[in-house]
Structure 1
Amino acid sequence: MNPAGRNPRRAGAGFRALALLAALACAAGHAQAAPRLRLDSTGLQPDEVAASERLLAEAVARLTPAMRTALDREIRVQWSPRLDARVHGRAIDDRLLLNRNLLSGLVASHGAGEGDGDGRAALAALLHELGHFLDRGANGGAMSRDPRLRDLAGWQIRATPGLTGLMGRRRGNDFRERSPDPYELHSPREYVAVNLEHFLLDADYACRRPALYRYFAQRWGAPAVAAAVCADGFAYVDAGDVSAGADAAMATGGRLGTLDPERIYQVDYLLAEGNDAMMSRWGHSMLRLVICAPGRPRGPDCRLDLEHHRVLSFRAFVGDLQISSWRGLTGRYPSRLFVLPLDQVIDEYTKIELRGLQSVPLRLERAEIATLVERAAQLHWSYDGHYFFLGNNCAVETYKLLRDGVPRLGTADLGGITPTGLARRLQRTGIADGSVLADPARALREGYRFDSLRERFQTLFEVARVRTGLPQREVEDWLAASPQQRRPWLERADLKAAAALLVLEQAARRQQESRFREAFKRRYLQSGGDELGAAAGILRTLLRETAWMSRPADLLEGAGYGLPQAEERTALQAGSAARRERLRDLERQLDQQARSLLSPAQARDREAVDANIEWLGAHLRELHRQAGGLQLN
C-alpha cells in the first residue's frame, strides 16, 4: 500500500527518453524476462491510456534485470476510484491498483514532458506496489522477513532481563527521524516497498542510506539511476560542553564534525567502572573511536592523539541522567547516541564521579570499522529509542550497534544486559583484546586505562592525615564533610599537607557544584518550574536548545532524509556558531540565576568552600615564602 502525503523528490533524468527506450525494447520482443503489466483501460480516455502505458514502460525500465526476472508474470494494472485519498496504490493477488486521483496529474505531466508532481507520484506508487510483489514472490526471498534487513531497518533484537540470550525483536521501529516517508515504519513489508521505491528513483539513495543500498544492490543489482557523489565521511553534531570555562577552545558542543573511517585506527570498548550508586554499579558501556590527528599516518601513535578521539555513548536524554529510577524502568526516557570528546568523558568519570575507565581494542577489519561508523552515523541522525535500565540500557544499545554494524558479530554470544557482562563476553570470544590491561603501568601509559582520581586523592589524603591527624580514614568521608567542618583541620596544615588539601578542596568544590546542579534540576522537573521564577524559563529554554545535540535531526527538519549530504551540511555549519554562542549565553544566565536559588545552607556551603580554597592558597604562599622558596619534598 502506498499512502498519500508523500513528499516526492526530484524526478529521474530523462523520464520520456527512458520510457521510450523501454517501450521500444518491449516492442522488439526483448529476450530478457520481464513483468507483463497489462493496463485495464476500461473507462479511460485515449490520452489517459497513452500516459498510463508510458508510465508502465517507465516503471519496467527502472527495474533491474534481476527484478524483471523475479516479476516474470502478468500483473493487471487498474486506476481505482475507490481507494482512499491517502492511499496511492495497493497490490492484491495479481492486480495492482493505482489511485485514480493521480491520473489527471500524470496526463498533465506527460503532456508537458515532465516527470515532476503527480507524474513522479504515480511512478513512485507503481514501483512501491511492484516492491510488494517482489517481496511476496518466491524469487524475492521475502526481504521483509530477512533478519539482516530487519536489523538495518530498525526492527532490532531485544534482550530479556535475567537471560543471556536474545528473545525476539522489538515490535516498533525507533528509527523515526529523517525518514523519506514515515509510512515505512508501519511494518517491515511497507519498509521494503518504500525503500525499493527510493532505491530505484533517488540518485543519492546510496549516500543517504548506504547500508540499505548495498543490501538491495547485492540482491537485485544496481539501479539504472545515475549515482550521486556522496559527501566525504559521516557528519555528526558534537555533544561536548558548550562552555569550557576559560579555555574556549575546549568547548566543542554544537559543532558539526565529520567521522572519516580512513582516519580511525581502532575502535575500543570503553567501560566506565562501577561505583556504589544504584544506576552506576554495573558500569557504563561506550565505544571509543581512536582517530588519528590530521597528517598522521594510521598506526599505534594515533592512540596518543587524545584530543581527536571521540566516544559513542548511549544515554537517556532528559537533561539529567539520574532523575527517576522508575522512569528508567518504564522506558520514559529517550535513548539516543551522543558523540562526545574523549577528554570530556575522561574528566566526567575520573575527576567528578571518581570512576576508572578501561579502553580495550576490538579486533575489527578495516571494512568493519567503516560499516560500524556508518551504522553509528545512521543511529545519530535517525534513532530515538526508549531507555530501560534493564532491557534497553547502554550495554544492550552498544551490543546492538556492534551487531548491526559488524554483521559477523551477530553469531557471537554477546547478548547481555550489563556493561561489565558485555566486556567479559567481548574478551571471552576474542573480539576484544583484554591483554592490554595485564600490565597496569603500561595500560596507563598507553591509554588503555584511565585511573579514577580516587586513588590519587586517597594518596594526597594520607599525606594530610599523617601530618595533621585528620579523623577520617577514607578520602570520600573527608570530601563528604561540610567545608565548615574541614576548615579547622586546614589551619593545622604544614606546607606539604596544605598542598595536598588544596587539591582535595578543589575536588570538593567540583562535587558540590555537581550536587547543586542535580538539586536544581530536580526542583525544576518536580515542580514544573513554578518555584524557580526566572531561572525556570532559562532552564526550559536551555534544555530545549540543547536537545538538538542529542537529536540533530531537528536541525534539518524537512530537508532530505538519512545521512546529511553537502547542501545540508553547509546549512548546519552556517548556523553552528550562532547556536553555540546562544547556548553559552543561556549557561551564563542560568548560573547567575541558580546562585540566587540556593538554600541558605547551600549558599553557606558554597561560600565556605570558596573561602577554604582562597585561604589555603594564601596559606601555601606564606609557607612557601617562609621556607625560602624551597620545593616541596
Structure 2
Amino acid sequence: MRWLSALLLLLLGGCAFRDPAPDAPLHSLSLRQWETLATTLQQVPDPLQRAIREEALPRLAISARSTQTDVGSEYNATETLSDLIQQSRTPLLSADEEFRRRLALLEASPSPQHAFADALAGFLLEPDYPCRHPVYSAYFQARYGLPVPRCTEPLPFLVVSRTEGLVPFWLAPERLYAIHLLFAGEGSAMASRFGHVALRLVICPEGETSPEACESNLYGHLVLGYMAHIDEFELNSVKALSGAYRAHLFAFPFMDVYRGYAIDEFRELYSLPLTLSGAQLQTLLRQLDEIHWRFEGDYSFFSRNCATLLQMTLRALLPGYTEQPISDDAYLRPDTFFEAMRETSLVEGERLASLAQAEEGGYYFSSTEGYYEAALKAVLAGMTSPAFDDIDTYLARPPEVRFETIVGDRRYRERLGREPHLLEAQILLEELALLRGERRLQALGSRYLNDYGDQLQSAETLEPLAGDDRAFFRACFLQSVRLVTAAFPTRRAIPDPQSTLPSLPRPALCREEGAPARLNAILTAINRPGSDQWQQLIYTTRLLDETTGNILKLQEIPYDTPIR
C-alpha cells in the first residue's frame, strides 16, 4: 500500500513517530498531498526537511484510514505547511526570541508560533515572499542558512507632504546613499519637550551617485519616524498618556521636517550616518519599507514613543546593535537615546564634534530663530519709530497695519529701495508671518471641520458656490479633514510595482498665488452667521491673503523707487 511505503520512507529518513502536541487537532494529509509538498521542499536544507517530515508522519497515519487518493481541489500547499509547523514542538520549527522581536515590528499576533508558521511556510513556498516580506526573510536566511534572491524592484513609500498631500513615492534602492539617525531638539509643547528621533534616508538624485550630489539633494531626502496617528484635531492628553493613539512608521519629505522644526518651531536638527555597508543599507531599507506598510501599534508619549519604538526596530534590524552596551538599556526619552547612540560605533558620532563643520556638511541644521532675530534687528534699526520690539509683537500686528507702517515711514521705505539686505530682512519677517498664518488656518479649519464637517459638505451649504469654486473648496479645504482623520492604509506586505496605492493629493491650484484670496471669498460667500469659529476662518484667510500681498509688493520694489 502506498501509505505504508510513505511511512517506511519517513522512518528510514530518520524520523520517529511521536505524539501530536496536546490539545492540537490534527488534519489528515494524503500521500499525494505530501508528495506534492515534498517536491517543493527539495531545496530546503536536510535538517529542516527532516523536521517537516516528522510533523507530516502522524497526519499520514490518519490519512491511511481515509479513501482519499488525489490532492484535492481545496488543497493549498502553503496553508498545509503552515499547519504542520504551527503545531510543532520541535525547536527547529519553533519561534525564538529573535523572531518575536521581528514579529513586534510588523503585527500584534496573539500567537507567535502561528505567525512563525505562516511566515516560514510563505518563505519556503512562495517565490515573491522574500521581496514582499524582507523582515522575516532576513531572519530565516540567518537562522537556516537559506538563500534569499536579490530584490531590485522599486520600493513604495506613502509620503505625507505639506504641499503635495498624501502621495506614493517609488524609490529605486540603488538611489539610497546613507541612512542617518535624526534628532530634533526639544520644543515647547508637551509632546516635544524631550525632542524627537527618527531616521533620514539620504537619497541621490536620479542619475547621480557622487557623495556631494546625494548629500545636497535635501528636497529628495525622506524621513521615517514613529509617530502617533492623531485622528482628531486637537491632541487629547488622556489618550496621549494612555496609549489610545495608534502608531505608524510615517514617511515625510526631509524639507517638510526641516521647515516644521527649524523654521516653524525654532528647533535644531542633528543628523548622524549609521555605519553600514552598501549591502546592509539595502537590507535595512527594505525592512523599513515593510514596517512602514505593516506596523500599527499603541503609542504613549512617555512610555511607548518615537524613541522606544525606534530602539525596538534597531535592536532587531541594525547589525551590531545587540553587541553594544546600549542594547541593555531602555531609553524612554528621545534626547537620552540619541546621546547614547552618539557614543557608540553604530553611528558616525564624530560628525558633530564641531557644529560649524557639521552644518557645512549637512549633519547639523541650526534653528532659524537667529536669522529671524537678525532680520528683526535690522528692521528695528531701519525704521524711524517701530511699533513692535520682538518677533511675537511683530507677528501679532495685522498685515495691513504692518504694510501701512512701511509706507508711512518715508525714510525707511527709501532705504528698502537702496539696501537689498534690509529689504530681504523685511520680506523674511513677512514670510514668517505667512508660515504662522498657514498653521493657524490649518488648526482653525481642522477644529471647525471636526465639529461641522458633515454640514459643510451638504448641497445646501455649497449652493452659493459656482462649480469651479465648489471643486476648489472641496480640494483645498474639506480634503484636509480626510488627511487628518483617515486611518493609515496598512498592507500585509510591501506592495508590488503593479499595485494601485492610496493617495490624497493636494492639487496645484491650492498652492497658487491667489489661493488665499479665493478661499477667503468662498468662505465669505458660504457665510455661516452666528458661528464665531467661521468668522475666525474668514478673518484668518483674509490675513493670509494680505500677507501674501505684502510679500509680492515688497518683492517688486525696484531700487530707488517708492512703494505705492
TM range (shorter): 0.7 to 0.9
CA contact (8 A) 1:204 1:230 kept: no
Between the aligned partners of 1:131 and 1:477, the Cα distance in structure 2 is 68
Deviations 1:453-501 (A, max 9, x none): 2211100101112233446543234324454664564433443456533
- Is residue 433 of structure 2 the alignment partner of residue 508 of structure 1? yes
Aligned to 1:13: none
What is the CA–CA distance in structure 1 between the aligned matches of 2:55 and 2:299, rounded to whole Å? 48
How many Å apart are 1:308 and its aligned residue?
2.5
1:393 aligned partner: 305
Partner of 1:132: 86
Whether 1:562 and 2:493 are equivalent positions in the alignment is yes
Number of aligned positions between the proteins: 515
- What residue is the counterpart of 2:345 in the other structure? 430
Secondary structure in 2 matching 1:572: coil
Deviation, 1:263, is 2.8
7, 10, 14: which one pairs with 1:33?
Answer: 14
Task: Say which structure, 1 or 2, has more relative contact order (CA 8 Å, 6+ apart).
Answer: 2
Q: CA RMSD in A?
A: 4.3
CA distance in 1, matches of 2:156, 2:62: 40
2:211 aligned with 1:287: no
Contact 2:10/2:53 (CA < 8 Å) preserved in 1? no
Q: 1:384 is matched with which residue: 290, 296, 301?
A: 296
Give the C-alpha shift of residue 298 in structure 1: 5.2
One-letter amino acid matched to 2:130? A
Q: Deviations over 1:202-260 (max 9, x none)?
A: 2222222233234334444549xxx888552422223224xx4xxxxxx4841331250
Contact 1:33 1:69 in 2 (8 A): yes
Alignment of 1:137-216 (within 5 A): 137=90, 139-140=91-92, 143-144=94-95, 146-154=96-104, 175=107, 185-216=109-140
* Unmatched segments (≥5 aa) in structure 2: 21-26, 417-421, 463-472, 528-532
Offset of 1:270 from its aligned partner? 1.4
Work out whether residues 359 and 449 of structure 1, in 8 Å CA contact, stay in contact via their aligned partners in 2. yes
Deviation at 1:520, TM superposition (A): 2.0
Q: 1:276 aligns with which of 168, 188, 206?
A: 188
Change over 3 Å in CA distance of 1:97–1:264 after alignment to 2: farther
Identify the residue that residue 625 of structure 1 maps to in structure 2: 560
1 CA distance for matches of 2:144 and 2:552?
72
Q: What one-letter code is carried by the residue in structure 2 that aligns with 1:625?
A: D
1:275 is aligned with what amino acid? G
CA deviation vs aligned residue, 1:575-623 (integer Å, no higher than 9, x gap): 87xx647797899899566666764455446535644664576578678
Deviations 1:382-407 (A, max 9, x none): 11222211122222222222222214
Query: What SS does structure 2 have at the residue aligned with 1:402?
Result: helix
| Distance in 2, Cα, partners of 1:26 & 1:562 | 38
Note if contact 1:270-1:358 (Cα within 8 Å) is conserved in structure 2: yes
In the alignment, is the contact (CA less than 8 A) between 2:434 and 2:547 conserved in 1? no
Shift of 1:38: 11
Alpha-carbon spacing, 1:418–1:591, altered in 2? closer, same or farther (3 Å): farther
* More moved, 450-459 vs 63-72: 63-72
Q: Please give the alpha-carbon distance, in whole angstroms, between the structure 2 residues aligned to 1:584 and 1:116.
A: 58
2: distance between equivalents of 1:75 and 1:626? 90
Distance 1:31 1:357, change over 3 A: same
**CA apart distance, 1:77:** 3.6
- Given the superposition, is the C-alpha separation of residues 610 and 32 from structure 1 closer, same or farther in structure 2, using an over 3 Å criterion? same
> Secondary structure at 2:302's aligned position in 1?
coil
How far apart, in 2, do the equivalents of 1:424 and 1:391 lie?
Answer: 18
**1:448 partner letter:** Y
- Measured in 1, the distance between the counterparts of 2:511 and 2:209 equals 41
The alpha-carbon distance between structure 1 residues 623 and 232, as it changes in their structure 2 partners (threshold 3 A), is closer
**In the alignment, what sits opposite 1:257?**
170
TM-score normalized with structure 1 length: 0.69
In structure 1, C-alpha distance between the alignment counterparts of 2:340 and 2:139, rounded to whole Å: 29
Letter aligned with residue 327 of structure 1: K
Distance 1:60 1:500, change over 3 A: closer
The answer to whether the Cα contact below 8 Å between 1:204 and 1:228 also exists between their aligned partners in 2 is no
How far apart are residue 303 of structure 1 and its match? Answer: 0.8
Counterpart in the other structure of 1:168: none
Residues 74 and 443 of structure 1: CA distance in aligned 2, closer, same or farther (over 3 Å): closer
Give the letter aligned to residue 74 of structure 2. D
Q: Is the 8 A contact 1:237 1:552 kept in 2?
A: no
Q: 3-state SS of the aligned residue for 2:560?
A: helix
Contact (CA 8 Å) 1:236, 1:256: kept in 2 or not? yes
CA distance in 1, matches of 2:306, 2:179: 17
> Once structures 1 and 2 are overlaid, which stretch shifts more, 66-75 or 201-210?
66-75
1:358, CA displacement in angstroms? 1.7
* Structure-1 separation of matches of 2:289 and 2:554: 52
Distance 1:461 1:585 in 2: 30
1:543 Cα deviation from its structure 2 partner: 4.3
**Measured at CA, do residues 467 and 383 of structure 1 come closer, stay the same or move farther in structure 2, by a change above 3 Å?**
same
> Are 2:183 and 2:198, in contact at CA under 8 Å, matched by a contact in 1?
yes
How far apart are the structure 1 equivalents of 2:5 and 2:153?
40
Q: Secondary structure in 2 aligned to 1:562?
A: coil
User: CA 1:625–1:196 in structure 2 vs 1: closer, same or farther (change >3 Å)?
Assistant: same
**Counterpart-to-counterpart distance in 2, 1:267 and 1:462:** 38
Name the structure 2 match of 1:169: none
Deviations 1:289-326 (A, max 9, x none): 11222332353542122232211122222356853222
Q: Is the CA contact 1:394–1:419 (under 8 Å) kept in the aligned structure 2?
A: yes
Question: Structure 1 residues 446, 393: closer, same or farther in 2, change over 3 A?
Answer: same
Q: Is the 8 A contact 1:35 1:60 kept in 2?
A: no
Residue 419 of structure 1 is matched in structure 2 by 334
1:26-175 pair list within 5 angstroms = 32-34=13-15, 52-63=30-41, 64=44, 65-70=46-51, 77=58, 110=70, 117-120=73-76, 123-134=77-88, 136-137=89-90, 139-140=91-92, 143-144=94-95, 146-154=96-104, 175=107
Q: What amino acid maps onto 2:159 in structure 1?
A: D
Q: Return the offset for 1:550.
A: 4.1
Shift of 1:624: 3.4
2:227 pairs with 1:315 = yes
- Contact 1:263 1:292 (C-alpha < 8 Å) held by counterparts: yes
Instruction: Give the 3 Å change call, closer, same or farther, for CA 616–548 of structure 1 in structure 2.
Output: closer
2:428 alignment partner AA: V
Q: Contact (CA 8 Å) 2:523, 2:538: kept in 1 or not?
A: no
Q: Displacement of 1:25 after TM fit?
A: 8.7
Distance, in Å, in 1 between the alignment partners of 2:273 and 2:489 is 28
